[in-house]
């Protein structure tokens, strides 16, 4: 298994966003020192849920601070990026990191980002297929042109060129089907449990029945270790609502559609119940259970849920010392 950290750059109340970003880089460094395989960084705009508006920029900083750990975006929001511009960023990171970078992309949502960046709700509602296909062509190591609804331009050379296979966040049947059609790995979010992740993998495999191959899917989960499971659960259930309540409120619709609301306390309870949150024994059991149930062999753990940087670093170090060696020994 490959086990990494998933960094949202969570904006807990009272924390300066600039300090949060610097601390996020420090968590990448701590994850490398603790033996994690990867560090994946999220992108959000105009909200405190995550204060990193450019996952590629933060990944570039982390490239310069590390030497071994893989780096990825989870995700770059493709509906607000020009696919070729994002491919250029990914190619640079590929070369500057010595091949350690993985680009994760997602469709995003019907949020105000679409208004601010001028891409409009159309790119979200019907443009993702065209955007993804153009991104894949731009990451195929050569020249690229476009004659579509949203993108039209003459052939140009990608400089620098790189051959990369993006990972696609799949939260809908349509996006899952598109990823399967293109043979691209899925990123499965921490908002679903192992049963739902397994169903997504089964649906993907069914669509690719005659085109077998190593998918390389990635599953996200919360990861938090303490001396006891009761302590770990209590810590997160007390801390996470302070972040989630104002953070989730930052998802502002681009138009007049109603914004979905989530019961924050119930959501925190779900996250601590189904993910590797607890004693070291409980975390090992949960990680191995996810691998067995879903068949996914790449897991990324959101380690910032405590809301305190020193405790988050301690969490990373304890996961690396007390959990990762046992997971790897059990999956050799």
Among the four given CATH numbers 3.20.20.30, 3.20.20.70, 3.30.420.10, 3.40.225.10, the one describing domain 2-330 = 3.20.20.30
Cα–Cα–Cα angle for 18, 242, 261, nearest 5°? 105
Q: How confident is the model over 53-74, as a mean pLDDT?
A: 98
Q: How confident is the model over 273-292, as a mean pLDDT?
A: 98
Say what the pLDDT of residue 47 is. Answer: 97
3-state secondary structure of 60: helix
Say what the pLDDT of residue 194 is. Answer: 98
> Which residue stretches of the chain are H helix?
17-34, 55-65, 83-96, 113-116, 120-126, 128-138, 173-182, 194-207, 229-248, 264-274, 280-294, 309-318, 324-330
pLDDT at 30 over 80: yes
User: pLDDT grade, residue 256 (50/70/90)?
Assistant: confident
pLDDT at 200 over 90: yes
Cα-Cα-Cα-Cα torsion 310, 70, 102, 124, nearest 10 degrees, comes to -10
pLDDT at 129 over 80: yes
pLDDT at 10 over 70: yes
User: pLDDT grade, residue 258 (50/70/90)?
Assistant: confident
Q: What is the DSSP string of 88-104?
A: HHHHHHHHHTTS-EE-E
Q: What is the pLDDT of residues 130-181, one digit of tens each?
A: 999 999 999 999 999 999 999 999 999 999 999 999 999 999 999 999 999 9
For tokens 């395989």, what's the residue? 37
Q: What is the pLDDT of residues 211-243, one digit of tens each?
A: 766 689 999 999 999 999 999 999 999 999 999
Using a pLDDT cut of 70, give the percent of the chain over it.
98
Lowest-confidence range among 46-60, 154-168, 258-272? 258-272
Q: What is the DSSP string of 165-210?
A: --EEE--SHHHHHHHHHHTPPEEE-TTS-HHHHHHHHHHHHHHTTT
Say what the pLDDT of residue 213 is. Answer: 60
User: What span, in angstroms and rounded, lies between the C-alpha atoms of 159 and 198?
Assistant: 39
Whole-number average pLDDT of the chain? 97
Q: What is the CA radius of gyration of the chain?
A: 19
Say what the pLDDT of residue 313 is. Answer: 98
User: pLDDT grade, residue 279 (50/70/90)?
Assistant: very high
Burial string for 254-289 (b: 16+ CB within 10 Å, else e) reads: beeeeeeeeebeeebbbbbebbbbbbbebbbbbbbe
Q: How confident is the model over 101-130, as a mean pLDDT?
A: 97
| Domain assignments of the chain as residue spans, ordered by start | 2-330
Say what the pLDDT of residue 332 is. Answer: 86
pLDDT at 210 over 70: no
Say what the pLDDT of residue 83 is. Answer: 98
Task: Count CA atoms closer than 13 A to 246's CA, side-chain side.
Answer: 14
Q: What is the pLDDT of residues 284-305, one digit of tens each?
A: 999 999 999 999 999 999 999 9
Say what the pLDDT of residue 257 is. Answer: 86
């Amino acid at each position: 298994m490959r086990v990494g950290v998933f960094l949202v750059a969570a904006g807990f109340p009272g924390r300066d966003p600039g300090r949060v970003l610097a601390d996020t880089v420090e968590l990448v460094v701590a994850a490398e020192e603790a033996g994690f395989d990867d560090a994946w960084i999220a992108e959000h705009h105009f909200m405190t849920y995550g204060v990193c508006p450019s996952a590629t920029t933060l990944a570039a900083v982390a490239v310069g601070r590390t030497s071994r750990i893989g780096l990825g975006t989870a995700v770059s929001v493709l509906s607000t990026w020009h696919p070729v511009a994002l491919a250029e960023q990914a190619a640079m990171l590929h070369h500057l990191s010595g091949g350690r970078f993985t680009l994760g992309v997602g469709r995003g949502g019907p949020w105000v980002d679409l208004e601010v960046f001028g891409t409009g709700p159309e790119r979200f509602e019907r443009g993702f297929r065209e955007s993804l296909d153009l991104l894949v062509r731009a990451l195929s190591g050569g020249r690229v042109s476009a004659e579509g609804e949203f993108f039209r331009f003459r052939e140009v050379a990608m400089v620098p060129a790189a051959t990369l296979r993006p990972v696609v966040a799949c939260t809908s049947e349509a996006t899952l089907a598109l990823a399967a059609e293109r043979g691209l790995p899925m990123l499965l979010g921490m908002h679903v449990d192992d049963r739902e992740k397994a169903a997504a993998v089964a649906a993907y495999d069914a669509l690719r029945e005659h085109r077998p191959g190593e998918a390389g899917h990635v599953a996200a989960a919360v990861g938090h270790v303490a001396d006891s499971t009761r302590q770990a659960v209590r810590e997160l259930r007390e801390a996470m609502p302070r972040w989630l309540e104002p953070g989730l409120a930052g998802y502002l619709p681009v138009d007049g559609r109603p914004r979905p609301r989530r019961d924050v306390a119930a959501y925190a309870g779900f996250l601590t119940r189904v993910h590797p949150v607890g004693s070291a024994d409980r975390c090992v059991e949960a990680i191995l259970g996810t691998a067995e149930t879903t068949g996914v062999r790449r897991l990324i753990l959101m380690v910032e849920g405590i809301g305190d940087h020193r405790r988050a670093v301690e969490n990373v170090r304890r996961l690396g010392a007390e959990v990762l060696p046992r997971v790897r020994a059990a999956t050799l």
